[in-house]
Amino acid sequence: MSSSKPLVGVIGGVGPLATAYFLDMVVRLTAAERDQDHLDLVVFNHASIPDRTDFVVGRSQENPGPVMAEDARRLEAFGAEFLVLPCNTAHTFTDEVQAAVRIPLLSIVGETLDEAQRRVPGLERAGVLATTGTIRSGVYHRALEERGITPLAPGEEDQATVMRVIYEQVKAGRPVDLEALRSVVGSLLAEGAQVVLLGCTELSVVAADFELLADPLYVDSLDQLARATILRAGAQVRG
């Protein structure tokens, strides 16, 4: 017997650990009393998608956009009724991905900004922690400015710290220097940030491991995407 639930297509592997955390969040956040109450998902954990930041900053000529567009087509052919992409830098290529399919793609950026504005009515200044690729692509900066919010990004040295945490620690499976990351956050607060957007799913891993989301200062993109996925699939968010 076929399920009446919408099938969720997950373009994963970008990165693999963030995808695993996303799936764990979806399960934990779904208000379910039994297996059958959970979402139906098909996950393409495509870890070999070319590095998004390397392409955006010009370190690589391997364009991840066509690869993700093909992944979207494969998930649509499998029967997915909407797509999610648990990677912020990859949202640089969402126009290409969306153009490849007829089904919608949820925006991790839009969901994150919606929550930031809900949390801080009249939000004026938001700090953005993300990969250099995401910063340079302007994915968050444009979206914030369109809403009349001033985006605040780390300075050069602080951004290098963020990238070390993302690439040399989380992606590499090594211990995270949380105090160094907190120092970057402190600099953003000194500039007037009212919230800090965790605009990289590897930073979402840090948030989960160190319970950062107990502090309402942090708005986590992966957490918001998980919640939006649950609701879009017709289920309820726990608690």
Using an 8 Å Cβ cutoff, are 88 and 199 in contact? yes
Distance (Å, rounded) from C-alpha 4 to C-alpha 180?
Answer: 47
Contacts of 162 (CB under 8 A, 6+ apart): 129, 130, 131, 154, 181, 184, 200, 203
Q: Give the number of other CB atoms < 10 A from CB of residue 39.
A: 19
Distance (Å, rounded) from C-alpha 106 to C-alpha 115?
Answer: 14
Determine which one of 129, 197, 200, 205 is catalytic: 200
DSSP tag of 50: P
Residue with tokens 């608690």: 239
Distance (Å, rounded) from C-alpha 56 to C-alpha 89?
Answer: 9
Whether 74 is catalytic is no
Determine which one of 14, 69, 85, 87 is catalytic: 87
Three-state DSSP at 83 gives strand
Whether 191 is catalytic is no
- Taking alpha carbons only, the member of 222, 147, 152 closest to residue 184 is 152
Three-state DSSP at 38 gives coil
Using an 8 Å Cβ cutoff, are 198 and 204 in contact? yes
Residues marked active site are found at 87, 200
